[in-house]
Chain A
């Protein structure tokens, strides 16, 4: 055999046959591989650069206001007093409301689109419609919220406040922008995230587990509640955490709908504010004095969202690993 190959390579044109890479090609190869590695590190560096820039610019405010920034409720440029407790409350409250609504819808849709209720074509159409919800720019949802959602909600909100006003959730009347319209629009915006990730989790439940449940005589929903949802629960939980993270950082819809009022209220109809909306509203016209304060607020938002998102990513990673174990 070796003899045969040598004769072939000697008798034919060497350029048409494979030749070992030249020294130049090896050098190019090394350079290219090194540069892609470098680019990968640039991505890593960006994350640190973001934290560094925001924290660095926030430093003067951190030194000046310290921890009291998180617990104070005043925002007064004249008196030089700043606190973001109402914004932290508003961010968490609006996101939790959105998660309640968006989570329910997202998980229901994920179940409906993975458990063979529909023919595949219709399933595909629904899946894409839900995904297109994410493609609508947030500012357009804000506009839609102002002119469609708020007018629709107002009669209902007035009725609830008049008849059930003693109940803290309905304690104030809806005068226009407020927590509930903002949360409803927010829930529409996180719906695609929640449903897409839950759908992945549900569709990766091994087929055999479902078949076993059906084989025992379970109805479709007994199988879903008893077997499929529990096996996919970690993935669904991860989807909810990531949806929550998305809701925390959403800006435009909230800046347009939440009312930008510096107050803490449990009522669904009262106006409030969120960290992201605060930044959107104050940053464009911030003076030198207000800028570090806003950077401090941005740093808090960055910390919260990074923590939530990293938690979500870890839960999902765990969940997929568990399934990979199952499948084999």
Chain B
């Protein structure tokens, strides 16, 4: 049958339902729903902008150099800063990263490279996914039981252990994904050259997957830096510098930005509340900065591929 015949055959038939006309209820409903979901999506973005605007408005006007160099103010004191909390946050997150990154990346090497289909891998993967859903406060409870109770005091390492537990699943799962993306041919070429699996992992897989691993690490660090709940009773808080008079007080209670915000937001003094906003601004800038850098690394490398 020729095309022209087909057209002739359907000549007299009307296809009202196939017309895209806005007068039909079903197309109207469809258009209406499209607009509605569009509005819902835009509404969902409002909180982010509202938070950012509030931070810039209430935190921005308080911004000064004093914030970074001074210690937290006492009840009726004006001014003050949270320099010790910034240093504390960096120290605690660095301890957490030092624990979580090697452990996470080497676990991921096993999951992606050494025994991807082994029973161990299946169990470890499942446990990593389970840890993803671990409430942050329970990481704190665990670190309290395992570190604070054992060493006899609140300290920066106790906070670091709690945060490491929260970073670990992100590092494992993103690193595994990144290593799986390494082209199989590269590995096969290396094996063909006579490399041992260890050499393949160190010289081919890890360098090639590095941007992806870095992204995961950045996301994990960003998340950990903002965590508050686990620090409430592991690192606690301190009104003093962690490094002072040439000696470190790492094994003492340590200040962090997140706990600073929590403590100061509940105070009845205007100055303290303004400080909480300013600290939030700094914390969000740190967290978003790390997060966006991580995303950029991954999107750039994906484009190259």
Contact = CB atoms under 8 A, between A and B. Distances in A.
Interface of A: 18-21, 25-26, 28-29, 32-33, 35-37, 39-44, 46-47, 49-50, 53-54, 56-57, 104-105, 108-109, 111-113, 117, 126, 128-130, 132-133, 135-144, 146-148, 188, 191, 217, 219-222, 242, 245-246, 248-252, 255-256, 276, 279-280, 283-284, 294-295, 298, 301-302, 305-306, 308-310, 312-313
Contacts of A46: 127, 131, 165, 168
B44 A130 contact: yes
Report whether over half of chain B's contact residues are helix, strand or loop; otherwise say mixed. Answer: helix
Contacts of B50: 144, 148
Nearest to A135: B291
B103 A42 contact: yes
Interface stretch (B140-148, B208-216, B244-252): B140-148
A108 B106 CA distance: 39
9 contacts: A35-B106, A36-B107, A43-B172, A105-B44, A112-B40, A251-B135, A276-B229, A306-B133, A313-B133
B95 to A, nearest CB: 17
A18 B190 CA distance: 10
Given A111-B37, A280-B229, A246 B284 contact: no
The A interface is mostly helix, strand or loop, or mixed, namely helix
A222 B26 contact: yes
B262 A139 contact: yes
Contact of B130 (A19, A54, A309): A309
A103 B114 CA distance: 39
Given A42-B103, A139-B261, A53 B228 contact: no
Given A37-B115, A53-B145, A305 B107 contact: no
A252 B141 contact: no
B135 A144 contact: no
Contact of A108 (B40, B47, B193, B197): B40
Bin the interface of chain B by size.
35 or more
A143 B265 contact: yes
B27 interface: yes
A295 B148 CA distance: 14
Given A46-B165, A117-B37, A251-B135, A283 B141 contact: yes
B283 interface: yes
Given A18-B193, A50-B142, A279-B140, 4 more contacts: A135-B223, A142-B265, A219-B27, A220-B30
Interface string B117-149: 000110110111111111111101110111001
A252 B106 contact: no
Contact of B54 (A137, A147, A305): A147
A266 B112 CA distance: 48
B142 A137 contact: no
B227 A137 contact: yes
Given A37-B114, A136-B284, A47 B131 contact: yes
